[in-house]
A and B are shown apart, each in its own frame.
Chain A
């Protein structure tokens, strides 16, 4: 463990931007874990008297049309958004990476079937497909997760397949078979660990898209429903007020959304540097 931490510290010191991303991620994590406790106001509490107030000392991000404190809502929404994103990414990874690795390693029919499946999914505009899936399965948060996972499946499957294909002929795969590893063991115990670094980057990037996807679906009324606090819904509600001058209602959740996606993108690269033992000196 210790050499890993030492290496992590080295990577972070060499690359300040990665350090920044990690710091930001830590903030988001704290917000997700302790949001409800840290929030100065109850995010669901309406207060008609305080409606549509601009940012001030009392309300850092201002209030929305129902008088709710936007800062508290943004803070609390972090938990929901991050949970949706994490869950989708992990589900997409499990479905996509495992099928992709099998397709790349075995070739033949496995490859053909996985390939056709991926092609079918990619034939649709992805967001429209997500909308369709949520509409068909029902307007629940869990279905946002499933929909996001499905639309990300081809990406994971393709990357995993390419990586597995390269490693299929590597010496260590043959050595593993000589050592008594059956094909499943070779795949899971030898090939998969080697594609993890690339998968980590993939997962981190997809986190960003997953958040955007969830926000997008909520924006159009699918998935998360009011009065739940979620960045997408907040932007949707705030959009109505931009013309009349209450810019803060849409801006703050939007900016947080942007920051989160930005953070996850940077995170991916940094994570890859830490995980890949070849980067260790």
Chain B
């Protein structure tokens, strides 16, 4: 492992990604509009000035509904996508300086790896489990032959994958086994930061336990930091030290996981937590349970959003004229917490 530089492992500052959508941008349109100025094209703000850090050895959770920008954020951090602006510093190195399409050959490539949501989809159907695990080792660590084979077996042992299964194809493996292959591949090059994108979403509950415990163990053994993206707040609660809540491209709340779950401040976080199904052993009818909050409607459009209006305005149970005039910024709310709401 490289000598740890002081400070956080991952430092994301003002990271933004905007996609151009629709509009007339073909050659013909541009050519025929020589007199009139071409209107600026609509931009979809997928990730909007997001800043956060991940310390060494920390597990940070990232939650939010579909369309909130978590997948885009993840792809910016693991450098599959180029940001529109902002900085991504990994242990001091500025990764945003490198282009995504050339990053495969970059010496920093091995430092960030990812475990995918759908293990089946993330494994090449024509590669055996051994081939899949060997691929990054071959490319990034330049190993081959017997040394490579030994490393693959070592990784299989570490992730609890029986060695006999190494010669199998993905469609011959169970969900849990595929998950292990995905994990073995991700840790093969000893990354410092491992991004886990809903790694247990497709697994049965009993298999999920085993995989989560494995991830916890590997984190300790290999000294990695985790960015854990998940829908399942119960799982996030189990594994994460801190949690970030995203909504429509912005971070609306962040803080220690236990605190955020016990005492959510942002109305969206409150709705999220109250939506987690639970059994009420006291016998009260669900509608009467305290803190029950239901979000109606659909989120606002992420295309050219008004910078002065709170993104949650309209769907928020609170909602005052101030919310439509002044965008709430993340401000401290407690020792290690931040919330972006005028009322928290």
Residues of A within 8 A of B (CB): 170-172, 174-183, 185, 190, 193-194, 196, 277-278, 280-281
Contact = CB atoms under 8 A, between A and B. Distances in A.
A178 B126 contact: no
15 contacts: A170-B121, A171-B116, A172-B124, A175-B185, A176-B135, A178-B109, A178-B136, A180-B109, A180-B110, A180-B139, A182-B102, A277-B171, A280-B171, A280-B172, A281-B172
Given A172-B122, A172-B123, A172-B124, A177 B104 contact: yes
B113 interface: yes
A170 B132 CA distance: 15
Interface string B61-100: 0000000000000000010100000000000000000000
Nearest to A197: B126
Contact of B105 (A172, A182, A278): A182
Contacts of B136: 178-180
Contacts of A181: 104, 135, 139
A193 B101 CA distance: 22
B125 interface: yes
Interface string B104-118: 110001100110111
A183 B117 CA distance: 23
Nearest to A196: B126
Contacts, number: 76
A175 B115 CA distance: 9
B240 interface: no
A245 to B, nearest CB: 57
A175 B172 contact: no
Contacts of A193: 124, 126
Contacts of A178: 78, 80, 109, 113-114, 136
Contacts of A172: 121-125, 127
Contacts of A278: 125, 169, 171
Contacts of B158: none
Contacts of A177: 80, 103-104
Contacts of A185: 104, 139
> Can you list the 6 inter-chain pairs with the closest CB atoms, starting with the nearest?
A171-B122, A180-B139, A179-B136, A171-B121, A180-B140, A172-B124
A2 B171 CA distance: 19
A277 B135 contact: no
A234 to B, nearest CB: 43
A157 B105 CA distance: 29
Most A C-beta atoms less than 10 A away, residue of B104, B110, B127, B182: B104
Contacts of A174: 80, 114, 116, 122
Given A172-B125, A280-B169, 10 more contacts: A171-B121, A172-B123, A176-B124, A177-B80, A178-B136, A179-B139, A180-B105, A180-B136, A193-B124, A281-B172
Given A190-B124, A278-B125, A180 B172 contact: no
A172 B102 CA distance: 18
A116 to B, nearest CB: 14
A84 B127 CA distance: 33
Contacts of B172: 280-281
A172 B114 CA distance: 12
A183 B101 CA distance: 7
Contacts of B127: 172
A175 B122 contact: yes
Nearest to B128: A277
A172 B169 CA distance: 13
Nearest to B197: A171
A175 B101 CA distance: 14
B170 to A, nearest CB: 9
A104 B135 CA distance: 24
A210 B123 CA distance: 36
A179 B171 contact: no
Given A175-B116, A178-B114, A179-B140, A194 B185 contact: no
A210 B145 CA distance: 42
A132 B109 CA distance: 52
Contact of B104 (A171, A182, A277): A182
A82 B122 CA distance: 40
Contact of B124 (A180, A194, A280): A194
A35 to B, nearest CB: 37
A180 B105 CA distance: 6
A178 B135 CA distance: 10
A277 B136 CA distance: 22
B142 to A, nearest CB: 10
Most B C-beta atoms less than 10 A away, residue of A170, A175, A183, A281: A175
Contacts of B126: 193-194, 196, 277
A214 B111 CA distance: 56
Contacts of A194: 124-126
Most A C-beta atoms less than 10 A away, residue of B127, B169, B185: B127
Interface in B8-60: none
Most B C-beta atoms less than 10 A away, residue of A170, A178, A180: A178
Most B C-beta atoms less than 10 A away, residue of A171, A193, A194, A278: A171
